[in-house]
Structure 1
Amino acid sequence: MELRPYQQEAEKAVFAKWKKGNKRTLLVLPTGTGKTIVFAKITERCVKNGERVLILAHRAELLEQAADKIKKVTGLKCAVEKAEESCIGSWYRIVVGSVQTMMRQKRLNQFDTDYFDTIIIDEAHHCISDSYQKVIDYFNEAKLLGVTATPDRGDMKNLGKVFESMAYEYSLSLAIKEGFLSPIKAQTIPLKLDLTEVGTQAGDFKTSDLGTALEPYLYQIADEMKKYCDGRKTVVFLPLVKTSQKFCNILNENGFKAAEINGNSDNRSEILNDFNSGKYNVICNSMLLTEGWDCPSVDCVVVLRPTKVRSLYCQMVGRGTRLSPETGKTELLILDFLWHTERHELCRPAHLICENEEVAQKMTENLEASGCPIDIEEAEVQASEDVVVQREEALAKQLSEMKKRKRKLVDPIQFEMSIQAEDLSGYVPAFGWEMSPPTDKQKNALEKLGIMPDEIENSGKAAKILDRLEKRKNEGLTTPKQIRCLEQKGFKHVGTWQFEAASKLIARISANGWRVPNGINPATFNPELGA
């Protein structure tokens, strides 16, 4: 099987990390971009190197999918370590095993601690649990690859305790732009659902409370769905089985062809096949379909299970991100409700693509104000521009207050704004070393290069700025001192200029008694035109 370009890059990146000595690394690929295919090819390469590989997952469906995909992609068969089945004595070099089975001490004792050379964990955001840790610690010499869709920053802080690095990350936004996933539109429904009385359990909203909070709104939600879901194949996620069953009945009362599926459904395969074939146009579930189920023709997702966990939200929306041009699918529509909560931790469509919380909040505000379906890529661009304007206004105010103070160094915020570095201004540390304060060596280097180090809170941010300064030097771009000098004179975004252009202009200003020469308007000056 010929891998897509990003899949090839992902495979190379993982082996590069291992070769470098990072034995525990992460691979992040959005739902629908073929993460199982990628780790199948990685597994094949490991086997060719004479290694034994353990594929670890928390659900039987994921293990079956992994074994099936590995066979299709590589031709290699897998042994199974689950319940009464064991790989002991098998000549297969690949083993798929459930964590519930592998974690048992009696099972682990059957293996030498160096039995597996490599462990690959599917849906790796689950691996911070004690059951996974027990297996990882037992085979502590094995290389470790965690594969997941889109972990949120909360996940990353926890995963950073297990993994040493991120080998490769392919964003949802880039997958859409490159045509590998469906465009996504979000429609905000002006129906305020009150979550103020909903409690928290294990870091997320309590499902029992959510069911109670949702009940009074189910008929109104069904009315809203009639406006937007006509002609679409829709998946609805709800907090409880009884809520899912009740809402399915309400939808059928309102003219939908709806089915409900849960862990106790005897005819799950039949229902899913009927939904896929078009017998039903809506399927309701209580979080059963978040993992291990693919139906590319799904073109509408209704999230009635609000969550604070970005990875869970992405899993729900991911049921509709796959391409299906043969069915006439052109986009995925997300119906987003106005959940009323006193906290600001709720995942919304903006969190699918926005790394920066400030941009996400602005995008959410814009979507709520629009009143119509908006492409989330376009919405993110507009929100980013709006935030830049807000930041520039705030920066202008801050700089005007600082004019009286003579400073030799450039404030890092001014530097980031001038070079238009969204990745720096939106940076959030993930791994342990990144969260520690900047070292004395980093502070001295920053100050020497013209950046005020006092405003930089952590070592990760300091490292990123130093790397950017080195890259800018190699590319012949302006220095922080040039930025400070010229922007004090009113020139805009000097950080995007070439070093030589800035040097010539500073020389002219210097020769003119440190006054801007006549005929030059700093607000509109274009260094390429010289005017």
Structure 2
Amino acid sequence: MELRPYQIEAKNSIFEEWDKGVNKTLLVLPTGCGKTIVFAKVTEDCVRRGDRVLILAHRGELLDQAADKIKTATGLGCATEKAEETCLGSWYRITVGSVQTLMREKRLGQFPSDYFKTIIIDEAHHCISDSYQRVLQHFPDAKVLGVTATPDRGDMRNLGEYFDSLAYEYTLPKAIKSGYLSPIKALTLPLKIDMSGVGIQAGDFKAGDIGTALDPYLHSIADEMAKYCKNRKTVVFLPLVKTSQKFRDILCSKGFQAAEVNGESQNRAEILADFDAGKYNVLCNSMLLTEGWDCPSVDCIVVLRPTKVRSLYSQMVGRGTRLCPGKDHLLLLDFLWMTERHELCHPADLICTDEEVSKQMTANLEDAGCPIDLEEAEKTAAEDVVAQREEALAKQLAEMKRRKKKLVDPLQFEMSIQAEDLAGYVPAFGWEMAPPSDKQKATLEKLGIMPDEIDNAGKATKLLDRLDKRRQEGLTTPKQIRFLENRGFQHVGTWSFEAAKSMIDRIAASGWHTPRGINPQEYVPGKE
């Protein structure tokens, strides 16, 4: 089985991390981008190196999928560690294991601490739980790969507490642009659903409370769906089984061919097969289909289980992002969830890494009134935010001028050198979140950057690296940027050091006035 270019990069990056001694690393691939194939190929190479490999997951379907994909992609068979099945005594070098089984003290105690040399965790956003940690701590020297579609968790315990690095990340926008996933169009519907009485449990909204809050709106939601979903293959996610069953009945009464599946459904496989074959055009479920189920022809997702957890939201939407003949985009229906106290996930959270852009995009989608392509919406929102930042920067620069500060504000520096990665930087791992060290702050101040505005070590490190790289490339210093931009010159951060020095020398020779014939607003070095 041939890997795609990004899958090859991902596999190589994982081994690079392990080979340099980083034993706990993450792989982030969007749903539908073949994460199982990647870790199947990683597993194959580990076996070639003589390792025993454990594939760890929390659901039987994921274990079965992993074993099937490994067999298809590599020809290697897998032993199973689940319920009464055990890998002990097997000649297979690969084991697919249930965390619920392995976490038991008696079961775990049968394995020497060095039995598995490599552990791969499918759906790694679950791995901080006590059950996973008990298994992982039993094999302390194993190389660990966590594989997930989204690297955050609802209880806000950052995966950086366990993993030491992010080996590789392939984003949803990249996958869509490269043609590996379906484009997404989001439509925010005007229906206002009151969530103010819904409580929080384990970092997310209580399912029971959501069901109660949602109940009065189910008929109105079905009416809205009738406008957009009649000719689509739709999956609806709901908070409770009884809510899911009730909504199925409402949809059927309005002319849909709707079915419902849940954990107790005796004919679940038959219903899923019939939905895949087109017998039903809507499938309702209570969070059953978030992982381990694929139906590429799904072209509409309705999330009626609002959540604060981006990984869960991405899993739900991911049921519709796969490519399929005749499918030109996925329609994602969003609602105006009214909540006074808590932020919840919106379509913007699927592609935005910058919180400001995400909020602006959500506001823009609410005002649009028609389906909008997510990439176009993100671009527009980013432009809006840049305009707002530039306006704020202008006010900030005016204030700085009045205060006659000698140092450059980090925001001014980032905007001047057009460094979007610095402006939108969010720390991911534990050390990055720590405050900047005294040495970092002293060095930044010496180089002309105001350190008071930098609140974490990761941002300080990135700034220092960027300053060193700019020095090597002969670009302007922060002090040159401050001096010239305070005199009205634009984007001095893109100038060379020598061009800035030349202009400052000319200003000095003119009695610290702008030389005659120079318009700072329009001046570009070398184009006089």
CA contact (8 A) 1:157 1:431 kept: no
- Indicate the RMSD between aligned Cα atoms, in angstroms: 1.4
Report the CA distance between 1:436 and its aligned residue.
1.4
Query: Which digits, 9 at most, give the CA deviation of each residue in 1:30-80, with x for residues without a partner?
Result: 101110011111101100000000000000000000000011111111000
Report what 1:362 is aligned to. 360
In 2 relative to 1, CA 300–527 (structure 1 residues): closer, same or farther, beyond 3 Å? farther
Query: Which digits, 9 at most, give the CA deviation of each residue in 1:159-181, with x for residues without a partner?
Result: 11211111111111111112111
Aligned to 1:485, the other structure's residue is in SS state helix
User: What percentage of residue pairs aligned between the two structures are identical?
Assistant: 74
CA contact (8 A) 2:155 2:202 kept: no
CA contact (8 A) 2:188 2:336 kept: yes
In 2 relative to 1, CA 90–206 (structure 1 residues): closer, same or farther, beyond 3 Å? same
2:134 matches 1:161:
no
Aligned to 1:298, the other structure's residue is in SS state coil
Report what 2:432 is aligned to. 434
Report the CA distance between 1:344 and its aligned residue.
4.3
Report what 1:177 is aligned to. 177
Aligned counterpart for 1:335 among listed residues 326, 333, 336:
333
Report what 2:269 is aligned to. 269
Amino acid in the other structure paired with 2:282:
V
Aligned length, in residue pairs = 528
2:354 matches 1:352:
no
In 2 relative to 1, CA 116–384 (structure 1 residues): closer, same or farther, beyond 3 Å? same
Aligned to 2:95, the other structure's residue is in SS state strand
> Hey, what's the Cα distance between the residues in 2 that align with 1:433 and 1:208?
38
Report the CA distance between 1:499 and its aligned residue.
3.1
CA contact (8 A) 1:208 1:240 kept: yes
Report what 2:99 is aligned to. 99
Report what 2:379 is aligned to. 381
> Hey, what's the Cα distance between the residues in 2 that align with 1:122 and 1:52?
17
Report the CA distance between 1:192 and its aligned residue.
0.3
Structure 2, unaligned runs of 5 or more = none
In 2 relative to 1, CA 155–384 (structure 1 residues): closer, same or farther, beyond 3 Å? farther
Greater shift after overlay, 436-445 or 8-17?
436-445
Greater shift after overlay, 123-132 or 475-484?
475-484
1:139-288 map, 5 Å: 139-152=139-152, 157-288=157-288
> Hey, what's the Cα distance between the residues in 2 that align with 1:300 and 1:473?
51
> Hey, what's the Cα distance between the residues in 2 that align with 1:498 and 1:234?
55
Structure 1, unaligned runs of 5 or more = none
Aligned to 1:222, the other structure's residue is in SS state helix
Report the CA distance between 1:400 and its aligned residue.
1.0
Report the CA distance between 1:502 and its aligned residue.
2.7
CA contact (8 A) 1:188 1:337 kept: yes
Report the CA distance between 1:506 and its aligned residue.
2.7
CA contact (8 A) 1:125 1:155 kept: no
1:125-144 map, 5 Å: 125-144=125-144
> Hey, what's the Cα distance between the residues in 1 that align with 2:492 and 2:224?
49
> Hey, what's the Cα distance between the residues in 1 that align with 2:190 and 2:337?
10
> Hey, what's the Cα distance between the residues in 1 that align with 2:434 and 2:207?
36
Greater shift after overlay, 418-427 or 177-186?
418-427
2:502 matches 1:504:
yes
Aligned to 2:319, the other structure's residue is in SS state helix
Report what 1:452 is aligned to. 450
Q: TM-score, normalised by structure 2?
A: 0.97
Report what 2:420 is aligned to. 422
CA contact (8 A) 1:156 1:431 kept: no
Amino acid in the other structure paired with 2:513:
R
Report the CA distance between 1:157 and its aligned residue.
4.6
In 2 relative to 1, CA 78–153 (structure 1 residues): closer, same or farther, beyond 3 Å? closer
Amino acid in the other structure paired with 1:466:
L
> Hey, what's the Cα distance between the residues in 1 that align with 2:421 and 2:157?
18
> Hey, what's the Cα distance between the residues in 1 that align with 2:375 and 2:275?
29
Query: Which digits, 9 at most, give the CA deviation of each residue in 1:427-485, with x for residues without a partner?
Result: 22222211211112212221222211122111111001112222323333322122112
Report what 1:398 is aligned to. 396
Aligned to 2:161, the other structure's residue is in SS state coil
Aligned to 1:40, the other structure's residue is in SS state helix
Amino acid in the other structure paired with 2:367:
A
Amino acid in the other structure paired with 1:465:
L
Report the CA distance between 1:343 and its aligned residue.
2.5
In 2 relative to 1, CA 426–399 (structure 1 residues): closer, same or farther, beyond 3 Å? same
Aligned to 1:504, the other structure's residue is in SS state helix
Greater shift after overlay, 435-444 or 229-238?
435-444
> Hey, what's the Cα distance between the residues in 2 that align with 1:97 and 1:348?
34
Report what 1:315 is aligned to. 315
> Hey, what's the Cα distance between the residues in 2 that align with 1:300 and 1:50?
45
CA contact (8 A) 1:222 1:251 kept: yes
> Hey, what's the Cα distance between the residues in 1 that align with 2:474 and 2:235?
52
> Hey, what's the Cα distance between the residues in 2 that align with 1:214 and 1:349?
20
CA contact (8 A) 2:256 2:282 kept: yes
Query: Which digits, 9 at most, give the CA deviation of each residue in 1:289-337, with x for residues without a partner?
Result: 000001111111000000000000000000011111x2x1001110000
> Hey, what's the Cα distance between the residues in 2 that align with 1:500 and 1:39?
50
In 2 relative to 1, CA 407–482 (structure 1 residues): closer, same or farther, beyond 3 Å? same
Report the CA distance between 1:155 and its aligned residue.
6.9
Report what 1:516 is aligned to. 514
Amino acid in the other structure paired with 1:141:
D
Report the CA distance between 1:414 and its aligned residue.
0.9
> Hey, what's the Cα distance between the residues in 1 that align with 2:94 and 2:291?
22
Query: Which digits, 9 at most, give the CA deviation of each residue in 1:128-151, with x for residues without a partner?
Result: 111000000001111111100012
Aligned to 1:491, the other structure's residue is in SS state coil
CA contact (8 A) 1:157 1:430 kept: no
CA contact (8 A) 1:359 1:380 kept: yes
> Hey, what's the Cα distance between the residues in 2 that align with 1:454 and 1:529?
37
Report what 2:475 is aligned to. 477
CA contact (8 A) 2:154 2:308 kept: no
2:488 matches 1:490:
yes
Q: TM-score, normalised by structure 1?
A: 0.97
> Hey, what's the Cα distance between the residues in 1 that align with 2:92 and 2:438?
52
Report the CA distance between 1:154 and its aligned residue.
5.9
Amino acid in the other structure paired with 1:226:
A
Report what 1:69 is aligned to. 69
CA contact (8 A) 2:276 2:295 kept: yes
